[in-house]
Amino acid sequence: MGEIRTLACTALRTATSATLAAFARATTGVRPIWAGTGPSDRQRIYFANHASHGDFILLSACLPPRERMRTRAVAGADYWGKSKLRRFIAEDMLSSVLVERNWVERTVDPLAVMLKTLDQGDSLIFFPEGTRNMTEEPLLRFRSGLYNLAVARPDVELVPCWIENMSRVLPKGEFLPVPLLCRVVFGAPIAPTQDEERRAFLDRARDALLALDPRPRRDGKP
């Protein structure tokens, strides 16, 4: 029975992945902009800005099918684990990696969960802001997770990805997407330098992501 369930889950994930990618392209016309790197068979952590539940679907739709099938989004268990239905959608249909974000109440270390996934050979889609950005700022302050992953698995490429317009396609609280054009801009991989402090790396990673935003900066900086 275990083998049959595994095969069924794999088939479900494959069908869901292909269907969502096709739907995302049809709804948003999304296209990847490979500005600093290109598609690769290397194991990666794609780190991106986060303003909508649809962000990881849009990013996944830009990956080649083989890469898309082994790339899993990191999502909050506090939201996606609230009910059996949400957990089924997140884990069985979308193959998401659920982590507990509340450091006071959590029973499992989120870093351990993500490292286990990487050690299985999968790539990750990771949102270093830690939550959806509902402010007027282009990016929230990065939390420590990206640095911890980079230090623990230095052979995994860290690729910044700017997701454009998705917050308008699927605003908070909405379930039906609004057809608007979107892009995902992939930047050059980054890595911590020797003896680089945590906050210095996180600020540099944030700047690398902001640099991919095609919109003019309101603060006048390039």
Q: What is the pLDDT of residue 53?
A: 76
Q: What is the pLDDT of residue 167?
A: 59
Contact between residue 87 and residue 112 where contact means Cβ atoms under 8 Å apart: no
Q: What is the pLDDT of residue 221?
A: 52
User: Of 206, 49, 198, 71, which Cα lies nearest the Cα of 131?
Assistant: 49
The arrangement of secondary structure in 2-210, i.e. its CATH architecture, is 3-Layer(aba) Sandwich (3.40)
Contact between residue 30 and residue 62 where contact means Cβ atoms under 8 Å apart: yes
Residues 16-41 have pLDDT tens digits of: 888 888 888 888 888 899 999 999 99
Mean pLDDT of 86-102: 87
Contact between residue 58 and residue 163 where contact means Cβ atoms under 8 Å apart: yes
How far is the C-alpha of 133 from the C-alpha of 120, rounded, in Å? 30
Q: What is the pLDDT of residue 142?
A: 96
DSSP string, 38-52: ---SS-EEEEE---S
Residues 97-114 have pLDDT tens digits of: 999 877 656 678 999 999
**The pTM of the whole model exceeds 0.85:** yes
User: Of 112, 114, 101, which Cα lies nearest the Cα of 72?
Assistant: 114
pLDDT at residue 220 tops 50: no
Higher pLDDT, 125 or 52: 125
pLDDT bucket at 177, cuts 50 / 70 / 90: low
